Structure 1
Amino acid sequence: MTVAIIVLFVLFFLMIIGVPIAISLILASVAGFMSSIYYIPLEVIPQRLITSVDSFPLLAIPFFMLTGEFMMSGSMGRRIAGFAFATVGWVRAGLAQVSTLTSMFFAGISGSGAADTAAVGKMMIPMMEEKGYDKGFAAATVASAGTIAVVIPPSIPMIVYGVTAGVSIGDLFTAGIIPGILIGLSIMMLNYWLTKKNGYSEEVGTFEFASFKKTLFEGILALVLPLIIIFGIRGGIFTPTEAAAIAAAYAFIINKFVYKDMDWKDIPIAFLNAGKMTAMVVFIIAGANLFGWLLTAEQIPQLLTQLVTSFSENKYILLIMFNIIFFIAGCFLNASAAITILTPLLLPIAVGVGIDPIFFGLIMVVNLSIGLITPPVGLDLFIVKGIANVSYDKLIKSIVPFIIVMICDLLIITYFPALSMFLTTL
């Protein structure tokens, strides 16, 4: 336990002074190695860093990142947004609803909350400001909708959990469909209420079927990509990694040869951006895996199991405790790091009281998605802050109602498991 205290102290100290999370995890692990009563050769460090990312399923991450880059290099993103306008742009809070629905469509392609938030924010936040929406509300809407990208498949945190826990990524993807839709619809209802309450926008139009049909026809090739991914995996046609590669190739072919609006010069830029984002995620996974391995070697999971089960062995009470742990972790840690560290620690406890590992992974990912919009390190908050040029204090005040709604969604997902899991049994 002394080693755990030392590594946690070092980890939080390094994070507080601004050291990147991956490097903080590695240095904290080194401190743990040096303070352990057991002899652990330092050669273990590079071995664990390399073997932790030497995984075929993790190849899905760069391919899904590349898919998102190809999508934004051409007109696929604009066509998806156009369809969202025709679908919900005519209702009250139309632009806020368009932002949310567009994020839900993008979520089915990119798998990255940060990429989703940046892409939608650049399009929608300036438009919302021009229509008289409050800056804080516009930014909060886009940031909260961006969290859906890590719940609706394909989800990069779900890939990380699937690899770490050794469970089916396809089942995780399927379990995330209903929760992702639930979160999206709840954000849209909150948008409607806040807009009406604060008078941000009073525009109310009528649904135009001709516009809907036109944008559907123009964007159908982009809109079917999430369906290709999901039904291809669930139908056993290809694995999640193969699905990611197919999605990237599909996005490239459609943008370059069908829509013909992606230049050859855009391709190296797309690969470079996807490579940078992938390197960041994989580096965090490697550091977190080393950190988790050290804790396991020091038998911290066994001690934690004894501590947690001493309070209660009732799975419903334990689910509350898990959610509290995940929520706190999400406030300070990147989702991939939190998953890699917490899964080996908490999954054995969950399985021991009869919680399905797929369901456990789902509530972990949904909970950590809220961490994208919670201070102090909510990544989506910093993305929209830069786009909207809004003060951090105002943004935090605006995001609170969205956090409350998402916590309510989390409780529904947690205590009504059939809502999410019935699709995995079909």
Structure 2
Amino acid sequence: MLLTMILLLVSLMALSVPVAVAIGLAGLVGVTFFSNLPLIVLPQQAYIALDKFPLAAVPFFILAGNLMAAGGISRRLVDLVESIIGDTRGGLPATCIVVCMIFAAVSGSSVATTYAIGAILIPAMVAQRYPVGFASSLQATAAELGVIIPPSIPMILYGVAASAPVGDMFIAGFGPGLLIAAALMVFVLIWSRYFHKPGDLEKKPVLPFLVSLRRSLFALLMPVIILGGIYGGVFTPTEASIIAVFYALAVSMVIYRELSLVEMIDVLKRSAISSAIIMFIISMAGLFSFILTRAGIPAAISQWIVETFDSAFMFLIAVNVLLFLIGMFVETSASIVVIAPILAPVAVLFGIDPVHFGLIMIVNLALGMITPPFGVNLFAAAAVGKVSLHRMIPYLVPMVGVIVLCLALITFVPMISLGSLYLFGVR
């Protein structure tokens, strides 16, 4: 049964069938041919998978990110960071990383981060004679912070799928996110020093720090209000997503006045489409997971893993290899919803903290966003930079290597993830 469903799933995706449809058809085959369940189970389980309060945060965080991009918030963040580090050698690529980290603190989406920041910084880097392949690859890689720096949509999905506290996941994401951002900054500063030849280009005028700080003050307050409210116990992550939308709307339309009603319609349309795609994937993945669970497959896999790997060290190595391969072919949200209920309980049996394991899973699967053949960030950055993937790959490979090294540290040094929980007094 499992082999048939997986082969069908892989075959359909190889034929470019949308991920949600492929998962749903595999689930339909499982219900029809390998169980005695009535077909009414299909819509029932699809609905049950979506009937979870934390999932309400997903469309609101997507909308908040799109509002930030359209309302001038993201551009002001770029100006602020450029005023601090823009004059240094490699300052523009470093600006890209820092701005993605700040933007990620509200949007929760790597694709939204790619479009919002890439539209500004990819042309700026190309104008400063950075290769377009390098600029696009860096934007795609830095945007990965959108799912690691809290709040994060994949963290919400993992919390729901693995019954882990979403608030703890958010707090734990700071350590890995800062580590990856710092490692990428070191990489781009070294690369720029030895490989970037700016020539005699006239430098782009950079706004004075105090001027850019004043212009971006309301943009900076956004992550402070959202994250401060969550960690201060004022509102839940789901409620925070709604507050983020209203704050972004007020700043964009009333304070900055850069978002018109006509543009608002386009923002709502794009947000609705993105939200529908994710929710469709979650509902079909929930059905798929239900069929596997009813057949006893997760329990069998758990038993096999426990019997095969005799230590947490070997288990984590095997899981990281497995997740890396899965992330290359399966969308991150779908992977989390299907795999987390299977692997998280096994990780607990090996004495691995479920929050720590969640960060391992999210960072690893996020690599799938920047690796062919289905890296969504790659396609988004390629579209923004108007560059083919083969021109990005030579620059992408060392960046992926940097993330892999960070993943190894996150995996085997639990305090990188869990240290924030102790710092905030959660544990």
Please say whether Structure 1 and Structure 2 have the same fold, judged by a TM-score greater than 0.5.
yes
Between the aligned partners of 2:364 and 2:420, the Cα distance in structure 1 is: 20
Q: Deviations over 1:79-136 (max 9, x none)?
A: 1111111122111112111111111111111111111011111111111111111111
Equivalent residue, structure 2, for 1:99: 96
Matches within 5 A, 1:234-313: 234-313=231-310
Cα deviation, 1:167-204, whole Å, max 9, x if unaligned, reads 21111011001211111111111111222222244799
Distance 1:30 1:203 in 2: 62
**d(CA) in 2 for partners of 1:303, 1:173:** 31
Is 1:147 the counterpart of 2:128 in the alignment? no
Indicate whether 1:187 and 2:187 are aligned: no
Which among 172, 175, 179 is matched to residue 178 of structure 1? Answer: 175
Q: Partner letter of residue 12 of structure 1?
A: V
Kindly provide the CA deviation profile for residues 193-229 of structure 1, in whole angstroms up to 9, marking residues without a partner as x. Answer: 22222224479999x9982222122112111211222
Residue 128 of structure 2 aligns with which residue? 131
Distance, in Å, in 2 between the alignment partners of 1:124 and 1:203 is 20
Amino acid at match of 2:115: A
Q: Does residue 62 of structure 1 match 2:72? A: no
Give matches, 1:199-210, under 5 Å.
199-201=196-198
- How far has the Cα of 1:265 moved from its partner? 2.1
Q: Check if 1:420 corresponds to 2:417.
A: yes
In structure 2, C-alpha distance between the alignment counterparts of 1:126 and 1:142, rounded to whole Å: 11
- In the alignment, which of 43, 54, 66 is matched to residue 46 of structure 1? 43
Contact in 1 for aligned 2:82/2:206 (Cα 8 Å): no
Cα 1:413–1:204 shift into 2, 3 Å: farther
2:325 corresponds to which residue? 328
Deviation of 1:19 (Å): 0.3
Task: Name the residue aligned to 1:23.
Answer: 21
Matched-pair contact (CA < 8 Å) for 1:15–1:21 = yes
The residue type paired with residue 261 of structure 2 is W
Q: SS in structure 1 opposite 2:216? A: helix
1:120 aligns with 2:150: no
- Post-superposition Cα deviations, 1:312-361, rounded to whole Å, max 9, x if no partner, equal 23112211111111111110111100000101111110111111111111
User: In the alignment, is the contact (CA less than 8 A) between 2:60 and 2:242 conserved in 1?
Assistant: yes
* Structure 1 equivalent of residue 369 of structure 2: 372
The amino acid of 1:135's aligned partner reads V
1:83 aligned residue: 80
Q: Give me the whole-angstrom Cα distance separating, in 2, the residues matched to 1:152 and 1:61.
A: 15
1:308 and 1:364 map into 2 onto residues whose CA distance is 17
Q: Is the 8 A contact 1:107 1:116 kept in 2?
A: yes
Classify the secondary structure of the residue corresponding to 2:278.
helix
Please say if residues 92 and 204 of structure 1, whose CA atoms lie closer than 8 Å, have aligned partners that are also in contact.
no
Kept in 2, the 8 Å contact 1:63–1:248? The answer is: yes
1:9 maps to which residue?
A: 7
CA contact (8 A) 1:90 1:204 kept: no
- Written as runs of structure 1 = structure 2, the 5 A alignment for 1:224-239 is 224-239=221-236
- The answer (yes or no) to whether the contact 1:315–1:355 under 8 Å persists in 2 is yes
Regions of 4+ moved over 6 Å: 202-206
Fraction of identical pairs, as percent: 36
Deviates more, 1:312-321 or 1:101-110: 312-321
When normalised by structure 2's length, the TM-score is 0.95
Q: Which amino acid aligns with 1:87?
A: I
Q: Take 1:333 and 1:201, find their aligned partners in 2: how far apart are those partners?
A: 39
Change beyond 3 A, Cα 1:305–1:253:
same
Contact 2:86 2:206 in 1 (8 A): no
Partner of 2:218: 221
- 1:397 matched to which residue of 2? 394
Residue 347 (structure 1) aligned with residue 344 (structure 2): yes
The verdict on how the C-alpha distance between 1:166 and 1:205 changes in structure 2, with shifts beyond 3 A counting, is farther
Alignment length (residue pairs): 422
**If the length of structure 1 is used for normalisation, what is the TM-score?**
0.95
